[in-house]
Amino acid sequence: MQNKQWLINGNPRGRALALTDFLEAQAALQTLRPNEARVQVEMLAFDPAMKGQLENVSGYASGNDVGNLMPGRGLGEVVESNDASLPVGSKVIGRLGWQEYATVTTQDVEVVPDDDLLSARLGPLGVTGLTAYFGLLRVGKPEPGDTLLVSGAAGAVGSVTGQLGKIMGCRTVGIAGGQAKCDWLVDEVGYDAAIDYKNDSVKARLKELAPQGINVFFDNVGGVALNDALGRIARHARVVICGGISRYEQETLPPGPTNYFNIVFRQATMEGFLLSGYEREHQQAIERLTDWIRGGQIKYKEDVQQGFENIPSTLLRLFSGKNFGKQLLRL
């Protein structure tokens, strides 16, 4: 039996990601060894950090070389197993890769209940939710009454971040591109206000919406939004640098924020966030996020594309702002 895969075919450092960075291939499925299980991949999850991982930045990601299987988190069903803890028919989540069948051991995947929150475990109950949770709570340190600004607010991380901010008692302002996303943020997600960076002056709107200054800025975007936000930070503000999607596709790195020096005048902090290091607390965070989702305090949206052949183009959607909700693909 054949296994279709997408292999890495280029390193996109210093340029936009392209469809030609991936190469379709086929490999015969091998006989399972002891303790291995075969997983039929049912759904893949996408996030902007995947481009950075492909760039093999030293100290951040490595081993993503041309010719290797494209890595990626997904969920699937065990269809063949040599390990009793991975029984046939069980649903698993983990780094399955861009392929139809993944060969895994218990170290690679986690068995999850086959319930209505299955795909949420690739989003608000997965890396996405944990990033929002630890990034906001541990680095942003929001307090009740704080004004929380989130860029990329309609993205998977940003929409959870805003809702966590409301749970913490913050006033929340989101920046997103286009009226539809902004309406969704205010009407469905529960942001107190939204700024449409495509049509509004971010600077003018921030002045209006954060008259006392921004206490916590959770940045997924970088660029102009970061600079404008730094221009309006409050004393002792916390700026969480979680992502910088405006930078990921540029050929030469754009300059940093001119207003960075405001962190001195405001005695503020700008801290980079990566999820690694919080492993021991994942379980507790996921239990809390589950309660909030079940209780309706956290809502989420999924953008589900279809088909093995569309995997690379689905990743590219993230960099053009096309996705609306957590980007997924069903095989």
Which positions touch its own copies (CB under 8 A)? Answer: 52, 57, 59-60, 222, 227, 235, 241-244, 247, 253-274, 276-277
Q: How big is the chain, counted in residues?
A: 331
Residue with Cβ nearer its own copies (70 or 268): 268
In the complex, minimum distance from the CB of residue 239 to its own copies, in angstroms, rounded to a whole number: 9
- Are 318 and 327 in contact by the 8 Å Cβ rule? The answer is yes
Give dist(CA 8, CA 69) in Å, integer. Answer: 6
In the complex, minimum distance from the CB of residue 193 to its own copies, in angstroms, rounded to a whole number: 23
Give dist(CA 282, CA 197) in Å, integer. Answer: 33
- Cα dihedral value 33, 34, 37, 38, nearest 10: 20
Give dist(CA 150, CA 173) in Å, integer. Answer: 6
Residue with Cβ nearer its own copies (20 or 62): 62
SS3 264: helix
Residue with Cβ nearer its own copies (259 or 297): 259
In the complex, minimum distance from the CB of residue 253 to its own copies, in angstroms, rounded to a whole number: 5
In the complex, minimum distance from the CB of residue 198 to its own copies, in angstroms, rounded to a whole number: 23
Q: What angle is formed at CA 228 by the lines to CA 224 and CA 231, rounded to 5 degrees? A: 145
Nearest C-alpha neighbor of 244 from the set 219, 274, 273: 219
In the complex, minimum distance from the CB of residue 58 to its own copies, in angstroms, rounded to a whole number: 8
Residue with Cβ nearer its own copies (37 or 221): 221
Residue 185: half-sphere exposure toward Cβ, Cα within 13 Å: 32
SS3 214: strand
Residue with Cβ nearer its own copies (15 or 235): 235
Give dist(CA 6, CA 166) in Å, integer. Answer: 40
Q: At what angle do helices 202-209 and 223-230 cross, to 10 degrees?
A: 40
In the complex, minimum distance from the CB of residue 116 to its own copies, in angstroms, rounded to a whole number: 34
In the complex, minimum distance from the CB of residue 265 to its own copies, in angstroms, rounded to a whole number: 4
Residue with Cβ nearer its own copies (23 or 275): 275
Residue with Cβ nearer its own copies (18 or 60): 60
Residue in the block written with tokens 């100290």: 59
Give dist(CA 190, CA 172) in Å, integer. Answer: 8
